[in-house]
Structures are given as C-alpha cells and as structure tokens.
A and B are shown apart, each in its own frame.
Chain A
Amino acid sequence: MSRSRRLKLQVFRVIVFLVFGAFFLVPIGAMFEFSTRGNTDTAPRTLSAWQTIFQTPDLVAAILASLALAVITSAGMLVLLVPTMIWVRLRLPRLNRVVEFLCLLPLTIPAIVLVAGLAPEYRWLSINVSESILTLAFVYLVLVLPYTYRTLHAGLAAIDVKTLSEAARSLGAGWATVMGRIIVPNMWSALLNAALLSVAVVLGEFTIANLLNYVNLQVAIALLGRANAGVSIAVAVASLMFAFILLVILSFFGRPRARVAQLEADTTLSWGQKT
C-alpha cells in the first residue's frame, strides 16, 4: 500500500471515529448539560439533580432492582443456554434449527403481545409465589434469548467443539468437566458479550415492567421525569455511563491470556523452530 493511500485511510478512520463519537456523545453531553441546569436561566450550574438520585428511596430501590434483575437474567441465560447449545451441537444437531427458531422467536413478538400473554401468569405468580419485581427475570430471560443466542452461536462456531470434547472424553473427562474446563474457557469472550447484551437489554427495558406494574429503573426514570425532569435525565445519563463502563471492563476481561500467549510466542520463537 502506498504512503498516500495509507494516509488517506488514516484520515478516513479518524473522520469516521469523530462522526460516530459525536453521534454518541453529543446527546449524552446535552443530557448532562440539561441535568446540571439551575432553576432559572441565570442560575449557576448545579449537581443537585444528581444528588437527588441518592435521596430518592424509590429510585435507589428501582436501580438496585434493575441491577439484581440484570445479574439474575445474565446468570440464568448462561446456565440455561450454554449447556443447551453445547449439548444440541454435540448430541442433537438435528434440533439446531428448532433451538434457533425458539430463541429468535421473542424478537418477532411485540412486547404488548408478550405482556398480554404473560399477564395471567404474573397474576398467578404474584398471588401464589411472590410479588417481588425479581420475578420479572423470567420474562427477561425470554427477552434476551435472541441477542445472546447469536453471540453464543458465533462463539461455539469459532471452536471445534466436537473434536475438543471427544479428546477430553477420551482422556477421562465427564460431560461436566468437558463443558466447564474445555468448552467454556474457549468461548469466554462470547460469554462475556452475551452477558453484556443481557445487562444492556434488562437495564433498558421499560414496556414490560410498566405494563405489568413493576417499577424498574426505566419506569422509575419515567415516573420521576413527570415530577423532576432534571433528576430523570441524570439517572438516564448515569445508566448509560454504567453500561459504557461495563462494556469497557468486559472488553478488557478476555485480553490477558492472549497477551501472555503472544509474549511467550515472542520469547520462544526466537530459539524454537517449527517442524
């Protein structure tokens, strides 16, 4: 590649980066600006809306509930989907299409239809089992399936699951060991991505919680917005920042092993010769 072409490519990259950066950051910046406005046009900037977040018990409860739902949904999704997908891939490949169809189905059903179907179940749940908002985890588990299925599917497709599991089995490993020690460690980034998508979906979910009369983070923000727009916008910015920080943390999570491996390659390849 010529020097001028490389330079043009570099400039193009920077422009794309700046445009998309502005696309994401300008609205967030505007929201932050709005949340720090004083009561009048001439009033100085204030963080009172942000401080109010922690002084509003209902809001704190909603944040904690949403975080708990995010954790439960992510964990439940991984426990349900990972062994199922590995098992189907290894032992029941003819069911692959069926599982894919079932997992993608929620994407095609509008939330209002989902709620109409689920309302009687939740009525029964609230009377006979629990009224806790955490029961929303059941429906959220269904809701995140389309996103997490695709991610996990890509992670599994990247490794030779059949050969690795057969090799481990021939060495004396049981199925639990095959999954826990051979397959899962080789699809870490897919698991993390799936978990992140679950967290993002749960933290951003409004319709189902609202229609089923539960107050999660988004419902609390909406309710608060009617009384105090500044606080609701501050919470919205905070939740966006939380998701962003989580994304950054998770994206760095899978890197150390690759870096160590590369480091070892750099040191050993200097004297070792491949055959």
Chain B
Amino acid sequence: MPTAVAAAGVGTAARAGVEVRLENLRRRYGGVTALDGLNLTMAPGELVALLGPSGCGKTTALRLVAGLEQADSGRVVVAGEDVTGQPTNKRDVGMVFQAYSLFPHMTAWQNVAFGLQMRKVDTARRRKRAGEMLELVGLSGFANRFAHQLSGGQQQRVALARALAIEPKVLLLDEPLSALDAKVRARLRDEIRRVQLEVGITTLFVTHDQEEALAIADRVGVMHSGRLEQLGPPTTIYSRPATPFVAEFVGLTNRLAGVVRGGEVEVRGARLPLVQPDAADGPAIALVRPEAVTFASDGETAAGPLVGTVIATAFLGATSRVTVDLGDITILAQLPTSDAATHPAGTRVRLALRPDPVLIARDEAKAERA
C-alpha cells in the first residue's frame, strides 16, 4: 500500500533500512549461559525472526541489541556504527514488548508522541507525525483513548506506532503477539508485516511460535542453548533442517529407527536419501516429516513393517493428520482430507515413505540402543 507510506511520511533513512550485525555476542547469568557466541547479520530492511524454546537466548539477543542488557563480550553494529557501549536511550531503536507497555496515564496520541518529545520535535510536527503513525496502524479514531480503553490488539498496534514514530534504525519486536488470542494474533501478525514492508525498517522479531516466525520473516534463525542452530528462509528451515533440533522444533517429525548404509538410510524396509550424504554407516534415527508419509497404493495390509491401524484422525482443513499404530511405534501422516476420510479409525492401512531427503540423529540413536 504505497499511498500509506507517503501518508505516513516516513523518513528515507528509516525506509531504506540499515544493516545490523551481531558479532560473537556472549552473555552469562551466573552459571547459566544465555548467549554463546551469537553471530547474525541482518540485511537492510530485512525481517529476521529468532525462534526457539524458552531459555534459548532469543530475548537476551534482542535485549542486547536494544541496550537493555550488556554483553559480556562481542559487538552490536548498527549501520556500521558500534553501539555496544551505548545506553538504550541513545541507540535509536524502536521496541514493542510482550507485555502491554503503553503509558497508562497518557492517551494513545500522547504515547505515540512521547518519543518525538524526547527528541525535542516541535509540537506541530509531533502532532502531525503521531497522527500519521496512528493512521498507519489503522487507529486514527482512537487517538484520545487511554490504554485501559483499548483492547490488547489495539494496544500493541499503538505500541508499534509509538516505536515507529521516532524513525528508529532498527525495530525490535519481543513476542508482541503472545498475549493476544489466536484470531487477533494472526491479524496483527499480518498487520506488522505490512507496516514493516511499507516502512522498510530492519526488524528483529523474537518468538517461540514457529507458525508466527515462518509466516512473517524473510529469514528465520532457530536458537538452541544460546546458539544459532540454523538461519535461513522459512522454506529451508522447514524442508531442509540443518540439525535434529531444528527438525524436531520446527514442525512435527516422526522418529524412525533405521540404518545408514551407502549414503542412504534404510527405515522399515524403505530406503531414503540423506540430507547429510557423507554420514557414516551405522544405526541412526531418521527424522521423517508427516507430509512424507502416504498411504501405499497397492493397499496390501496383511503384514509388513509399515502396516498398521489408524487410531486417530485430526481434521486440519484441506489436510488431515492421521495417527497410525504400527505395533511397536505410532507414526503421523499428513494427508489430503479426501484420502484421510477413506480410512477412518480402526482401518488397517499400509504406509509408504516418500523418498525426500531426511535428517538423521546419531547420538539419540546410540542413546536409544543403550
């Protein structure tokens, strides 16, 4: 919506975006390592989502960029300038928090204008800019409301307008949707992406919600134990996970015992290519996505390693998730709903594994054998 950009009058510096580099950032809290040498470069105008479980270090990384925490070592470089030692109020970052953070004693308009007042922008320009920002997030009619008169979604939109009003170099979003209900969350997620694209600001988005990260980001960084396990476009993260952790954290995964032999893994009679073709021969756990599991066309259900009984079907819309009991394990298959409907619970089925490259987990295979 280019007209909205023009209406918002966003400055060219912000619209062009700047490069942000996190170089070898380390942070410990007592004996706990929150960040263990994080390296990340964000291209100008890019939206990078940091995804990971609680305690993986993603929020710490964001707070280091904001200056709300100090790194033990490493650098934060914004637009070529090392800002590591700068206090938060000198960093030129806009931030939206997980908790509702509007100043309760100020109206929406006053909240948005606050940052401009701190920058000593004159009243007329402040009024104009705050109005434009509220219009950008679709809340121009709510300017005189206090925080307690706005819904959660509206409060976060005002918080977004407030963060963008100061034309920051970087926009930091710290799980801004996690306090909202599912419907509002999906709508506001799209709204954030629209505004980010219009303004063109480099954005770091922290979330533990994989759907959110995959839907909104140019690139997703999956974090685990203070490290970046994988950084890449959402499609790559999902379909070509670099590590077993990424495979299991992003999306659903079947863990099937198998044997690696000659660059392939043999799983329950099926031979599947490997993501890691140089993997040494030996026992392993193959991580197979439910989408790679289908019903076999010949329908032979007398016996076999992939023959079992459908025990549950979850309707997801166009697709359904079918749980099949193979005797020794259960396996998930994601199938078109029309296919799933022909095999209700209790039906004997024979499954097939699509020969997509799969990832293997070695250590866990050893552990399971032990």
Interface residues of A (CB under 8 A from B): 159-160, 163-164, 166-174, 177, 182, 185-186, 257, 261, 264-265, 268-269, 272, 274-275
Cα A168 to Cα B101 in complex, Å, equals: 9
- Is B148 in contact with A166, judged by CB distance below 8 angstroms? no
**Is B154 at the interface (CB under 8 A from chain A)?**
yes
- Is B105 in contact with A186, judged by CB distance below 8 angstroms? yes
**Is B97 at the interface (CB under 8 A from chain A)?**
yes
Least Cβ–Cβ distance between B153 and chain A, in angstroms: 5
Cα A268 to Cα B107 in complex, Å, equals: 13
- Is B118 in contact with A173, judged by CB distance below 8 angstroms? yes
Least Cβ–Cβ distance between B2 and chain A, in angstroms: 25
- Is B187 in contact with A275, judged by CB distance below 8 angstroms? yes
Cα A238 to Cα B166 in complex, Å, equals: 55
New contact pairs (17) apart from A160-B101, A268-B149, A272-B142, CB-CB < 8 Å: A160-B99, A163-B99, A163-B101, A166-B88, A166-B97, A166-B101, A169-B89, A170-B68, A171-B89, A171-B118, A172-B119, A172-B166, A173-B89, A173-B114, A173-B118, A186-B103, A186-B104
- Is A177 in contact with B150, judged by CB distance below 8 angstroms? no
- Is B115 in contact with A172, judged by CB distance below 8 angstroms? yes
23 contacts between A and B (CB under 8 A): A159-B104, A160-B99, A163-B100, A167-B95, A167-B97, A167-B103, A168-B103, A169-B68, A170-B68, A170-B89, A171-B163, A172-B89, A172-B118, A172-B166, A173-B114, A186-B105, A261-B149, A264-B144, A264-B149, A268-B145, A272-B142, A272-B145, A275-B187
List of B residues within 8 angstroms of A264 by Cβ: 144-146, 149
Chain B residue at smallest Cβ distance from A162:
B99
- Is A166 in contact with B145, judged by CB distance below 8 angstroms? no
Least Cβ–Cβ distance between A86 and chain B, in angstroms: 15
Interface residues of B in 60-99 (CB under 8 A from A): 66, 68, 87-91, 93-95, 97, 99
Interface residues of B in 132-157 (CB under 8 A from A): 141-142, 144-146, 148-151, 153-154
Least Cβ–Cβ distance between B103 and chain A, in angstroms: 6
List of A residues within 8 angstroms of B104 by Cβ: 159, 186
Most buried by B among A169, A257, A264: A169
From known contacts A169-B68, A275-B187, infer whether A177 and B95 are also in contact, taking CB-CB under 8 Å: no
- Is B149 in contact with A171, judged by CB distance below 8 angstroms? no
Least Cβ–Cβ distance between B76 and chain A, in angstroms: 14
Q: Which of B88, B103, B148, B187 contacts A170 (CB 8 A)?
A: B88
Chain A residue at smallest Cβ distance from B96:
A167
List of B residues within 8 angstroms of A170 by Cβ: 66, 68, 88-89, 91, 93-95, 163, 172
Most buried by B among A169, A172, A174: A172
List of A residues within 8 angstroms of B114 by Cβ: 168, 171, 173
Q: Which of A163, A185, A186 contacts B97 (CB 8 A)?
A: A163
- Is B89 in contact with A257, judged by CB distance below 8 angstroms? no
Chain A residue at smallest Cβ distance from B147:
A261
List of B residues within 8 angstroms of A167 by Cβ: 95, 97, 101, 103, 159, 162
Chain A residue at smallest Cβ distance from B184:
A275
Least Cβ–Cβ distance between B59 and chain A, in angstroms: 12
Range of interface residues on B (Cβ < 8 Å): 35 or more
- Is B163 in contact with A275, judged by CB distance below 8 angstroms? no
List of A residues within 8 angstroms of B66 by Cβ: 166, 170
List of B residues within 8 angstroms of A272 by Cβ: 141-142, 145
Cα A186 to Cα B106 in complex, Å, equals: 10
Chain B residue at smallest Cβ distance from A160:
B99
Chain A residue at smallest Cβ distance from B183:
A275
- Is B151 in contact with A274, judged by CB distance below 8 angstroms? yes
Least Cβ–Cβ distance between B260 and chain A, in angstroms: 49
Most buried by A among B90, B104, B150, B172: B104
- Is B68 in contact with A166, judged by CB distance below 8 angstroms? yes
List of A residues within 8 angstroms of B87 by Cβ: 169
- Is B101 in contact with A182, judged by CB distance below 8 angstroms? no
Cα A173 to Cα B151 in complex, Å, equals: 26
Cα A269 to Cα B146 in complex, Å, equals: 12
Q: Which of A172, A185, A274, A275 contacts B105 (CB 8 A)?
A: A185
List of B residues within 8 angstroms of A159 by Cβ: 104
Cα A166 to Cα B87 in complex, Å, equals: 11
- Is A171 in contact with B162, judged by CB distance below 8 angstroms? yes
Cα A164 to Cα B151 in complex, Å, equals: 18
From known contacts A172-B115, A268-B149, infer whether A166 and B95 are also in contact, taking CB-CB under 8 Å: yes
Q: Which of A160, A164, A171, A185 contacts B115 (CB 8 A)?
A: A171
Most buried by B among A159, A164, A170, A269: A170
Q: Which of B88, B103, B144 contacts A169 (CB 8 A)?
A: B88
List of B residues within 8 angstroms of A257 by Cβ: 105
List of B residues within 8 angstroms of A160 by Cβ: 99-101
Chain A residue at smallest Cβ distance from B154:
A275
Least Cβ–Cβ distance between B14 and chain A, in angstroms: 15
- Is A275 in contact with B166, judged by CB distance below 8 angstroms? no
Cα A257 to Cα B105 in complex, Å, equals: 8
Least Cβ–Cβ distance between B123 and chain A, in angstroms: 16
Cα A268 to Cα B150 in complex, Å, equals: 11
Q: Which of A168, A182, A261 contacts B148 (CB 8 A)?
A: A261
- Is B151 in contact with A269, judged by CB distance below 8 angstroms? no
Cα A272 to Cα B141 in complex, Å, equals: 8
List of A residues within 8 angstroms of B187 by Cβ: 275
Cα A268 to Cα B149 in complex, Å, equals: 9
Interface residues of B in 150-192 (CB under 8 A from A): 150-151, 153-154, 159, 162-163, 166, 172, 184, 187
Chain B residue at smallest Cβ distance from A266:
B149
Most buried by B among A159, A261, A268: A261
